[in-house]
């Protein structure tokens, strides 16, 4: 069963797509995000400059992006030209968002794609998972999906552990056979452990947003390469066709490349938007436990600057009993 768990309040939202209780997708932020650098958003942009074989665009909202374009098309681009583009990878760490060229355009820089709610964007992404989606409100499922998106490492069913670590150059995945008691033979457990890990890797990477070069350190050195690659592709579903896979190396590693897409949630941990969202969620919990009391939200100015217009635009009854106060440490005070 595919379920959508969704919560929206004060103009901020978070949601998760789960299959049979396991999270596959998670997103949070503004419910209606106007940004032009979100994946799949189409717009008309201006070519700002060309340097070192790279083309840089300025979007209608002032953000910049890098244009992915074949060399034969690159040489024909003229600075200042209007181009219709689609975002294929959001910004991450110190890297700009990337866009693909759709074709030449006319007129002012502008958005073409409609502005969808975060829930609708999740449902659109879930379409590739197949089946109908049932909406359920379950805060515990949202909390679990958020935690799994931030920390993709974890135990495997029936024993073993899959560790996923992000480095500057690649995503390193290590399979550990700890907890393999009960199998017929150690060899049988190692085989099953490798298969369970590669089968679940697609879900974990999709949930966390991690991509790029991925290296899996398999247990042992003699493997059924065709079966492991097939299980890996099956785990990625419709996305499997975008993977670039290599053979299993002599040291027992399986390597592949997954194209980047949405910004990994772990890249937003320190963002003011996320801090504002967490503080408002804490205020809602406190209000449910002590209804009718005044809530004082204390936080750094960057966080309060996001919360203030959200409360002003909200018709939520809690907005009237919230007060904002600058402080170093975020917290909610009930009086």
> Could you report the per-residue pLDDT of 22-37, keeping only the tens digit for each?
999 999 999 999 999 9
pTM of the shown model: 0.92
pLDDT in tens, 221-234: 889 999 999 999 99
Residue 244 burial (10 A CB sphere; 0-12, 13-18, 19+): exposed
pLDDT tens digits for range 185-219? 678 889 999 999 999 999 999 999 999 999 999 99
Residues 39-60: tens digit of each pLDDT: 999 999 999 999 888 899 999 9
Percent of the chain with pLDDT over 70: 98
């Amino acid at each position: 069963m595919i379920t959508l768990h969704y919560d929206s309040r004060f103009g901020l939202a978070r949601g998760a797509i789960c299959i049979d209780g396991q999270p596959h997708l998670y997103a949070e932020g503004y419910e209606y995000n106007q940004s032009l650098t979100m994946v799949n958003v189409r717009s008309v942009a201006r070519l700002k400059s060309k340097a070192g074989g790279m083309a840089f665009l300025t979007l209608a909202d002032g953000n910049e992006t890098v244009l992915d374009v074949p060399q034969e098309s690159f040489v024909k681009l003229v600075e200042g030209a209007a181009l219709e583009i689609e975002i294929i990878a959001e910004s991450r760490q110190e890297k700009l968002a990337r866009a693909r060229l759709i074709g030449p355009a006319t007129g002012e820089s502008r958005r073409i794609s409609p502005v969808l709610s975060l829930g609708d964007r999740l449902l659109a992404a879930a379409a590739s998972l197949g089946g109908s989606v049932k909406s359920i409100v379950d805060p515990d499922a949202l909390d679990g999906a958020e935690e799994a998106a931030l920390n993709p490492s974890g135990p495997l069913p029936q024993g073993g552990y899959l560790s996923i670590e992000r480095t500057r150059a690649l995503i390193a995945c290590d399979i550990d056979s700890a907890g393999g008691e009960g199998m017929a033979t150690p060899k049988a457990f190692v085989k099953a452990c490798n298969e369970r890990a590669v089968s679940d890797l697609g879900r974990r990477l999709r949930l966390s947003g991690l991509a790029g070069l991925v290296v899996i350190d398999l247990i042992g050195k003699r493997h059924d390469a065709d079966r492991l690659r097939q299980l890996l592709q099956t785990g990625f579903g419709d996305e499997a066709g975008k993977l670039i896979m290599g053979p299993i190396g002599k040291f027992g590693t399986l390597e592949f490349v997954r194209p980047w897409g949405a910004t990994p949630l772990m890249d937003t941990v320190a963002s003011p938007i996320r801090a504002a969202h967490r503080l408002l969620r804490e205020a809602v919990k406190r209000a449910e436990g002590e209804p009718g009391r005044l809530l004082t939200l204390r936080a750094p100015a960057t966080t309060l600057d996001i919360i203030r217009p959200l409360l002003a635009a909200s018709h939520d009854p809690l907005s009237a009993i919230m007060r904002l106060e600058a402080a170093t440490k975020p917290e909610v005070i009930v009086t």
